Structure 1
């Protein structure tokens, strides 16, 4: 359909380097540059900062563990671990400012359900809090060492101090990355899922409000008018049969309009043709209602899970509505295919272009909805056109199993389909 999004096998989006490893300072040299002075400031501040952290950790542990014989000890220990998270955040900020170490913030603790004790248990088994406690315990002797060596070196080791501070600062960088970074991909994934859950909830609430509004303003209002018209026709039936017949005829027209609105509403919730015949027939039906000619090609050997199928249908439906309303296009194409555990949708038009994820709530909302199910939306729409929108979804078969490769990093099959 258009040129490939990228060479074969190339991901659609660039994958950033692992956090904390692309922030190496320049090599040390016999000079006192900005990096060297920042490292010296960090090493001199290690002693007071590590002293505060050590006192907090020891006090928290001794108080919490010492009082575990009572019911007060465990809550104190849990609260202490939450406070340790705050210390870790402050240390990450200090390392980011002075050492250039950029590590992701660990995910927040999941909101436990079931009351006080489940939430307490979540805080007591928090790996982020315990790693910060370990960081606080080992930092005091290290802080004393770095403070003494750096302060002494300012008057004794001046020519080689940049090399000494670089070695000590690199050890600090390793501690921050090792103990204050998210433990593994799982924690980052938890944060993503928490965000996605909020998107799903907001989307579902918006859909319910839309359905309620459509029912209230459309079919419901029409049925109310129908009831009033039939009531008047009943009163006129004996005294003016001709007028009553006219009213019944008008009511018949209202019934037809109400049925049409209800069918459109049902199609907007989940069309029957999608359930009965799958994406090919459902997308062809959507394309027939578009204001420009649309060619639909669906290359699937089997149907995906109903939820994925529904998301694919509504994504294409909304994109075709955008083409009808805003593109000024003369033709459009829709292509659907499966590759390496992913379902791909590509919608192309020869309109005026200029569409973007930041151009309005429609495409941005589609991107959020796809992201909530581990999907992806890529928009290529230069001014003057054409516009190519590629959507990617994880493939799940109709038994609910996730296809092999569907949970890997998102990447497009860049076949340049036409």
Structure 2
């Protein structure tokens, strides 16, 4: 089942990536590219955090103190503008070093155009995004000092302990100071006995410290990775678009989809009327005119010829009525309005080119708009089954789960369907998304194909 014939080409199954053993992941972590990038993010964050804190704190303090004068608001506005520039830089740094892609927040929107500077200042001061950027600049420093200090100190301590035998070899006696040995050899023995008790030997001490350093090196990347998660939360939560802005953007996109769909439906109705019913009505008018001429111009009209013309006109009337019924059914079927989804889908399945079973388990009817969307969703999916799937039978199931209406259409065809840009399934997914709906497709090569649509109940 697909929206386009071109999407019937079988897709190669994804090759699962081989999982590396955990010990290999641990050994490679200190020198992995991601670990280097995360360490670079932590290290470069310390000076940037200090500069951002000084700037934001100074602008906030001076601007607040000078609010009784005419300089307070401009200083606050300039501080907020600078914090927005800082946010842009931080989003770029997180994108390059952490792979975190945070969308740009909503821009400053002025309300008046007559006084651009004052309007811009007012928009900055009213913008919640600007104040969130200021809050980030103030919180950035303490977290950078805490997280960055722990990460960098642990990293440096690990490498220092791990390479301690090298430093001791280069400068003997300067790094390890132990009591003089009383017994034992000069090898890497663990202890030596003496009259004063048991003392550690230098070889064992260096080995122990180096081993602890190696363990620290292997664990430090995971420590830094955990600390960086907090940075990701700060950047995405304070420097990204707000939930309201994201929702407004989604609604604007959905509105565009709805407008485009309505315009496409109007063009389809106009084309069907022009190419179907209108053309047949013109033919009907011509045949009735021809019958009129035969009756008026011929003093002795042939009854059979006139009857044949009238019979042809009668046939055209039947065809016009059938096309108008089909067109009305395509706009909104009367059976759906009168009897609901169950009978409407049963009638729809009866017109399908293959046997389709329909199961509707609804105790009550959803609102008319959702009911109509569900009907036309099933209609389009059944058309795809008939045209592209090569199936022998299909099934339609509809049920309610809490506040969602679920639709599942299954066929036993050859599968391999994909939701691609420009395909019928992609357009259907966009139309469902416009009403907070979802479309899920499972279609392995060889079948079966299952399409699940989810719609809000109201």
Give the TM-score normalised by the residue count of structure 2. 0.62
Farther-moved stretch of structure 1 (384-393 vs 300-309): 384-393
Structure 1 residue 269 displacement after superposition? 1.0
Q: Say if 1:166 and 1:333 are closer, same or farther in 2 by CA, change over 3 A.
A: closer
C-alpha separation in 2, matches of 1:232 and 1:176: 80
**Aligned pair 1:373/2:404, yes or no?**
no
Cα-Cα RMSD: 4.8
Listed as ranges, the matches of 1:38-57 within 5 Å are 39-40=39-40, 43-44=43-44, 47=47, 51=51
Listed as ranges, the matches of 1:309-320 within 5 Å are 309-320=371-382
2:264 — aligned with what? 206
Structure 1 residue 213 displacement after superposition? 1.9
1:305 — aligned with what? 367
Structure 1 residue 149 displacement after superposition? 12
SS in 2 for 1:389: strand
Listed as ranges, the matches of 1:37-186 within 5 Å are 39-40=39-40, 43-44=43-44, 47=47, 51=51, 77=77, 85=84, 87-98=86-97, 100=98, 102=100, 104-105=102-103, 108=106, 125-136=126-137, 159=160, 174-175=230-231, 177-178=233-234, 180-181=236-237, 182=240, 186=244
1:176-233 deviation digits (Å, cap 9, x = unpaired): 5225424775554444434333322222222222222222222222223333443444
Highest CA radius of gyration, 1 or 2? Answer: 2
C-alpha separation in 2, matches of 1:320 and 1:383: 19
2:280 pairs, out of 222, 238, 241, with 222
Structure 1 residue 311 displacement after superposition? 0.9
Farther-moved stretch of structure 1 (364-373 vs 300-309): 364-373
2:324 pairs, out of 242, 247, 262, with 262
Farther-moved stretch of structure 1 (29-38 vs 121-130): 29-38
Structure 1 residue 138 displacement after superposition? 6.0
Listed as ranges, the matches of 1:189-338 within 5 Å are 189-240=247-298, 241-242=301-302, 245-338=307-400
Structure 1: give runs of 5+ residues left out of the alignment: 1-25, 397-418
Structure 1 residue 303 displacement after superposition? 0.5
**Aligned pair 1:384/2:446, yes or no?**
yes
Structure 2: give runs of 5+ residues left out of the alignment: 1-24, 162-215
Structure 1 residue 67 displacement after superposition? 11
CA contact (8 A) 2:56 2:138 kept: no
2:402 pairs, out of 328, 337, 340, with 340
CA contact (8 A) 2:394 2:410 kept: yes
C-alpha separation in 2, matches of 1:61 and 1:245: 98
C-alpha separation in 1, matches of 2:95 and 2:430: 30
